[in-house]
Amino acid sequence: DKPTYKWQRVLLKVSGEALAGDQSQNIDPKITMAIAREVASVAIVVGGGNIFRGSSWAGSSGLDRSSADYIGMLATVMNAIFLQATMESIGIPTRVQTAFRMSEVAEPYIRRRAVRHLEKGRVVIFAAGTGNPFFTTDTAAALRCAEINAEVVLKATNVDGVFDDDPRRNPNARLHDTLTYHEVTSKDLSVMDMTAITLCQENNIPVVVFNLNKPGNISKAIKGERVGTLIGG
Ligand code: UDP
């Protein structure tokens, strides 16, 4: 049997694409509810790609990259508030912290306060990425993970993990059980962008890529049971 890990603290990364499910809407409430039911006292970094991705808009209509990225960061705040509302609807105490101030809707990011929330058993959702344009929420996940001394980034996606080929096109694509950081970067596997994976490597933060659409998978990943692909040293 595969080994289990005893994570004390984890950082769950939920991309915007994962939140969208197969709905035509930006967010599928079934997915946010599935997440809400499976988490307990974890830190979450939420993406925004289901609503707005800066890099795909920059350049068009004269939009500069920084402006586009700030819109993208605002999109993550929408997802965070949606997720928070879903969690609180089933009684899970949740705090949203934003990387830039939006104090009417969420707390500002304060590292020690975030840790305190986790110690009290609350879910903390980090929104607005790193607060800086030219970064991604994957990098925010790696950064916040390191800052709050979490031991692993759990990257929830719509596929079972990292494959050696695109599983949607090649039915014989093989799922990697484990990968090294070097394999990810040298083979240019689309797991995370280079900044994010390098930050994980430099801080010895393993990354688990797994499918959030399989019931029970999120709680398994949080508990340290082996799901998906484990990337590490
Ligand atoms: N973004 C940014 N800085 C950050 C995090 C995100 O500028 O630190 C912007 C960027 O435009 C990005 C968008 O927010 O395209 C949404 O985030 P991301 O693409 O990482 O979301 P995901 O792919 O996880 O849904």
Given a contact cutoff of 8 angstroms between Cβ atoms, the answer to whether 12 and 154 are in contact is yes
Question: How far is residue 31's CA from residue 57's CA, in Å, rounded to a whole number?
Answer: 26
Question: How far is residue 212's CA from residue 224's CA, in Å, rounded to a whole number?
Answer: 15
Q: Which atom of ligand 1 lies closest to the CA of 54?
A: 11
What ipTM score was computed for the predicted complex, to two decimals?
A: 0.98
Given a contact cutoff of 8 angstroms between Cβ atoms, the answer to whether 125 and 77 are in contact is no
Q: What is the 8-class DSSP label of residue 225?
A: -
Pick the CATH number of 10-232 from 3.30.1150.10, 3.40.1160.10, 3.30.43.10, 3.30.2130.30: 3.40.1160.10
Q: Which atom of ligand 1 lies closest to the CA of 134?
A: 7
Instruction: Say how many Å lie between the CA of residue 4 and the centre of ligand 1.
Output: 31
State percent of the chain over pLDDT 90. 85
CA atoms within 13 A on the CB side of 29: 3
**Average pLDDT over the chain, rounded to an integer:** 94
Show Cβ contacts of residue 183 under 8 Å, excluding neighbours closer than 6 positions.
Answer: 189
Tell me if 14 CB under 6 Å of ligand 1: no
Q: Whose CA is nearest to atom 15 of ligand 1?
A: 53
Tell me if 129 CB under 6 Å of ligand 1: yes
Enumerate the domain spans of the chain.
10-232
Instruction: Say how many Å lie between the CA of residue 172 and the centre of ligand 1.
Output: 32
In this structure, which amino acid lies at residue 74?
L
Question: How far is residue 158's CA from residue 181's CA, in Å, rounded to a whole number?
Answer: 21
pLDDT digits (tens, 9 = 90+) for 161-208: 999 888 888 999 999 999 999 999 998 888 899 999 999 999 999 999
Rounded to an integer, the average pLDDT of 39-67 is 92
Rounded to an integer, the average pLDDT of 210-216 is 94
Tell me if 38 CB under 6 Å of ligand 1: no
The pick from 27, 44, 69 for probing ligand 1's pocket by mutation, whose C-beta has the most ligand atoms within 8 angstroms, reads 69
Q: Which atom of ligand 1 lies closest to the CA of 17?
A: 25
Instruction: Say how many Å lie between the CA of residue 7 and the centre of ligand 1.
Output: 27
